[in-house]
Amino acid sequence: MSEQIAEAVRLSPSELRTLFLFESLEDDQLAWLSENGYCQTWSGGQSVYNEGEPATCFFILLSGTLSMHRRVENTEVETARTNQRGVYAGATQSFVKGLAEQPYWASVRAVTDCDFWVIAAMEFGEKFREWFPMAVHLLEGMTVGFRSSQAIIGQRERLLSLGRLSAGLTHELNNPAAAAVRATASLRERVSKMRGKLAHLATADVDPKALVALTDLQEAAVEKMAKAEKLTPMEVGEAEDQLSDWLDDHGLDDAWDLAPTLVAAGVDTDWLDEVAESVPATLLADALHWVTYALETEQLMLEIEDSTHRISALVGAAKQYSQMDRAAHQDIDVRDGLNSTLVMFKHKINESGKITLVKDYDESLPMIPAHPAELNQVWTNLIDNAIHAMPDGGTLTIRTSQDDGWVLVEICDTGIGIPEEMQQKIFEPFFTTKPVGEGTGLGLDISYRVITQRHGGDLRVRSHPGDTRFQVRLPLTEPPSFG
């Protein structure tokens, strides 16, 4: 760090008194500082200290211009630039027990040649505690207390929304999983019956040619099923009646059992006539049962396939929601995040039975730079609030559009609305109208910070009874202080 130490150049107590930090110190205090601090020069372009290095020194700018930088992801962002004599930087919290060992939280560079007054953080911190015990207590209470309460509360809001979402997801997963388990059990039963039938046919001294004809019949029926048109309940009833009659006429006594499966597969009496012609009359019943089992197993397998596809789609949505496999900051399509958040709320929306979901998406929306996991937290809160505002049902509209250089996302509900005088308050931390345990009052505070500070965007509300819109504007290009 030290480039050109101006051989232990000290500042006299009276020079130190001209720095605003020290203007009201006692003579003996200034004398101590004068002995322990020294002057040091950095030439323009040099780095004074770097973010992340152990914070060993406290610096006061005497002359020149400095700039301050913070690393955000992989780029460096300039957060301040000043030539004000007396500004301080470096190990500014060395007096707080427990924070003394912390690294520098930013980097400082000399923009022009700079003179600093420098002092070792450890000794300075110790003296500071000795001189100002009460101030230190108060500051410690504030910094440490504020940090931990912010962290605890932020975590609680995240946990609450995670809880709401995992409840929805669990419910969504449960249906297809239970369906797959049921279908598998039925499949096992059918397959075992089919084995029985095969054994029966094999011992019944059937012409091998007829066996071939039977397997061909099965293939044809399965193919027919894949192409079968969907019938209305009325058409299904009629078709089942017709098939039952035909089966009765041909001596099958469990017509009621076979007819529904055959109808679902698109089988009609013409097809049954063909079957009757291609197999000996003695084998007709066995042949039709054989075909029916094949159709049933096929249907069950389709059901299992469908359920397992739904399960993987849900897991995919959950993964996309939590952004488990993505970088923290990237170009995204906001509709993806909105969709995966909606999957998590599907259960809640369906459960109410009275909320209609309308997605009004601009098809030509451009990609924007964003922190997708954080945006998902915003969508979660806005959608959760909107659903909560419509206990008697209504319409939830998610709209995306482009608005003069911004991507605009609107979450609209037709609920109770927010009185004019409350519209500013709702963004304050801890403001909630929900019962204890249900709301934290932090959702909108966090959302606002995520949108404005992290994305350089804007979050506004417009509300009348029956028409409330939360409008999120996100810039199309990266703001200079993205992070």
Ligand X SMILES: Nc1ncnc2c1ncn2[C@@H]1O[C@H](COP(=O)(O)OP(=O)(O)O)[C@@H](O)[C@H]1O
Stretch 435-474 residues interacting with Mg ion (CB under 5 A): 443
Among residues 34, 244, 323, 385, which is the contact residue for Mg ion, using CB under 5 A?
385
The answer for residues whose C-beta is within 8 angstroms of residue 325's C-beta and 6 or more apart is 319
Cα–Cα distance, 218 to 240 (Å, whole number): 20
In whole angstroms, the minimum distance from the beta carbon of 185 to Mg ion comes to 42
Continuous H helices in 269-369: 269-278, 284-322, 334-352
DSSP-derived letter for residue 453 is I
Using CB positions, name the residue nearest to Mg ion.
443
In whole angstroms, the minimum distance from the beta carbon of 317 to ligand X comes to 23
Q: Which does 266 bind (CB under 5 to 8 A by kind): ligand X, Mg ion, none?
A: none
Per rule CB under 5 A, is residue 381 in the interface with Mg ion? yes
Per rule CB under 5 A, is residue 377 in the interface with Mg ion? no
Q: Which does 468 bind (CB under 5 to 8 A by kind): Mg ion, ligand X, none?
A: ligand X
Per rule CB under 5 A, is residue 376 in the interface with Mg ion? no
Q: Angle 334-352/372-388 helices, nearest 10 degrees?
A: 30
Q: Which is nearer to ligand X, 47 or 356 (CB)?
A: 356
Q: Which is nearer to ligand X, 169 or 396 (CB)?
A: 396
* Size of site (CB under 5 A) for Mg ion: 3
Taking CB under 6 A as the rule, which mask of x and - marks residues 376-395 in contact with ligand X? -----x---xx--x------
Q: Which two tokens stand for residue 433?
A: 């109208």
**Torsion region of 52: left, alpha or beta (phi above 0 gives left; psi -120 to 50 gives alpha):** left
Among residues 369, 441, 475, 479, which is the contact residue for ligand X, using CB under 6 A?
441
In whole angstroms, the minimum distance from the beta carbon of 469 to Mg ion comes to 16
Cα–Cα distance, 302 to 406 (Å, whole number): 45
Query: Under DSSP, is residue 108 helix (H, G, I), strand (E, B) or coil?
Result: strand
- The interface region with ligand X, picked from 10-18, 66-74, 345-353, 433-441 by CB under 6 A, is 433-441
Q: Which two tokens stand for residue 296?
A: 């049933």
Taking CB under 6 A as the rule, which mask of x and - marks residues 400-429 in contact with ligand X? -------------x-xx-x-------x---
Of 194, 148, 425, the residue nearest 298 (C-alpha): 194
Cα–Cα distance, 11 to 34 (Å, whole number): 6
Task: Give Dmax (Cα) for the chain.
Answer: 121
Backbone angles phi, psi at 368, to 5 degrees: -135, 155
In whole angstroms, the minimum distance from the beta carbon of 422 to Mg ion comes to 14
Q: Which does 389 bind (CB under 5 to 8 A by kind): Mg ion, ligand X, none?
A: ligand X
Q: Which residues bind ligand X (CB under 6 A)?
A: 381, 385-386, 389, 413, 415-416, 418, 426, 431-434, 439-445, 468
